[in-house]
Amino acid sequence: MPEVKPTIVSSENPQVYEDVHVHAVYDEIAPHFSSTRYKPWPIIAAFLSSLPTGWVGVDLGTGNGKYLPLPYDRPGAVWTIGLDRSINLLKLAKRAGDVDREVVLGDVLDHPWRRGAFDYAISIATIHHLATPERRKLAVQRVLETISPSHGRALIYVWAVEQDELSKRSIPASADNDGQCSSPSGQTGRGQDVFVPWVLAQPAESKPKTRRKGKSGKPATPETPETGVDAEHSPPKVFNRYYHMFAKGELNQLVADAASALGLVLGDAPADGIVATGEGEKECGVQIVQDGWERSNYYVELRRWER
């Protein structure tokens, strides 16, 4: 397994950078990637199980749609719509769990919805693919804008610098070095920009879908090791996906910044009856219900409120 390696976001246009180092890669590796992504993480499963029947939500960066069939204990009790930028992942997501799902080709930085239309939103392993602090903050803003201002709930997961001992990935030795960090120094919770390789073995006899030569769309840029490849098989391709690994405290700071940008109070909802604001004036806020680290990821669960 090739190592995770530090990188520096080089393009002047982060959108273009993400197109090359995230979206095009996922379009190329979609079927193989999907075959490795089927087990829901416990906190996400518990979150989706806790939702009232009849709620409708959106999975921002749904990938292969592995969370769309949940909750398993009450299938069909809530309805999650999946959004992603990778059309090839969406083709898998729309039959996640072998049932018709609703999926939308879209960007997590856009807002193609009625405002506050959703009861809940999840964004799992997605925001860490955005290449600048501003874009990551905007993505959190979009999560908050997508859900109902009165009761909307959200769960966000991002990859952590602090990796699980059991993780198959090796951590770049320079993870804590200042020199490799793209964020401005002096801030709390700096993360680490890295490339995470995806090795796509290409046996000639299977999965023709992984080779989509001649199709439309931007080509990814694989590095092709030329050594030791027998003629029967295509050479394995290594695709480097861009990640921003989050430092401790960084996700919560992002939530605070996003809340501030939207004019939301960050904190628990005031108890009924003690609101001191003027007549008819509503105070809006967002509460951090829980946050923490699970299996190499930071997560935060949010709830919006208005009084």
Name the site residues for another protein (rule: CB under 8 A).
15, 52-56, 75-79, 81, 83, 85, 87, 90-91, 94, 99-107, 110-115, 117-119
CB of 15 to another protein, least distance (A): 7
CB of 85 to another protein, least distance (A): 7
**Which two tokens mark 296?**
């190499």
Say what the alpha-carbon torsion angle 170, 172, 175, 180 is, to the nearest 10 degrees.
Answer: -150
Concatenating the DSSP letter of every residue in 67-80 gives TTT--TTSTTSSEE
CB of 21 to another protein, least distance (A): 18
CB of 3 to another protein, least distance (A): 33
**Which two tokens mark 151?**
């009761």
Provide CB contacts within 8 A for 85, sequence distance 6+. Answer: 22, 23, 26, 61, 105, 106, 107, 108
Q: Please, which residue, 91 or 211, has the CB nearer to another protein? A: 91
The angle at the Cα of 138, spanning 135 to 140, to the nearest 5 degrees, equals 115
**Which two tokens mark 49?**
């199980």
The secondary structure of residue 55, as a DSSP letter, is: -
CB of 220 to another protein, least distance (A): 18
Q: Please, which residue, 154 or 245, has the CB nearer to another protein? A: 154
CB of 282 to another protein, least distance (A): 20
| Cα 9 from chain centroid (whole Å) | 18
Q: Please, which residue, 86 or 297, has the CB nearer to another protein? A: 86
Q: Please, which residue, 52 or 203, has the CB nearer to another protein? A: 52
The angle at the Cα of 256, spanning 254 to 260, to the nearest 5 degrees, equals 115
Q: Please, which residue, 111 or 282, has the CB nearer to another protein? A: 111
Q: Please, which residue, 129 or 237, has the CB nearer to another protein? A: 129
